[in-house]
A and B are shown apart, each in its own frame.
Chain A
């Protein structure tokens, strides 16, 4: 069964460093998403991406964040200058359609900012 994959599973970085989290969405999916879950809190939407453009972003997704689909398979989330409060699980998801369609999630990347 096709699945969303994410690398690395765990990333430890120093405050102020740049990190890139990688995702490979399901191959026939067209919509891609990033979510995060800070320990003990809800899963929160960060950004959606379609046709090589950001479709929607939350207020969390500020200028420190960017997304890219550098080739036909990868979807990346870059955090330019990490802060302590960026420590969280980051989940990538994909879907065939937007709206009334199922999003399938990857296993997540645990980001720890020291």
Chain B
């Protein structure tokens, strides 16, 4: 199932700089997108989401951009902090039909922020 793809397995960034995590999707029925952060041996923690009617959503240091024509979204973290080091998952849910909120996840990107 490759409907949601995060092509970069890892990203390394200096503290204070911008982190940009990318996600691509293929299912045009997806209409809600979320980013989760995960530490080892913990559950995914919700970070930020975006509906398909928007192209940008901002919450503090986190901004998600959605390009529907390219079926691409990205998460920007500015400024990056060492505590942001974790695995970041992109997830999507589809509208309508019999879908009741099933989330389809990407493979995750390991972000390392160096002091």
> A interface vs B, CB < 8 Å?
4, 6, 31, 33, 35, 42-45, 48, 50, 55-56, 58, 91, 93, 95, 97-108, 110
Interface residue B104 (Cβ < 8 Å from any Cβ of A): yes
> B interface vs A, CB < 8 Å?
1, 31-32, 34, 36, 41-46, 49, 51, 89, 91, 93, 95, 98-108
Given known A43-B44, A91-B44, A108-B42, contact A103–B103 (CB-CB < 8 A): yes
What are 18 A-B pairs at a CB distance below 8 A? A4-B43, A6-B43, A33-B101, A42-B106, A44-B1, A45-B102, A48-B101, A48-B102, A55-B101, A56-B100, A56-B102, A98-B101, A99-B99, A99-B101, A103-B46, A105-B36, A105-B45, A105-B46
Shortest distance from the beta carbon of A106 to any chain B beta carbon, whole Å: 5
Could you count the A-B residue pairs with CB atoms below 8 Å apart for me: how many are there?
78
Main secondary structure of the interface of A (DSSP, over half): strand
Q: Contact partner of B43 among A55, A95, A101, A108, CB < 8 A?
A: A108
Given known A50-B100, A56-B100, contact A104–B46 (CB-CB < 8 A): yes
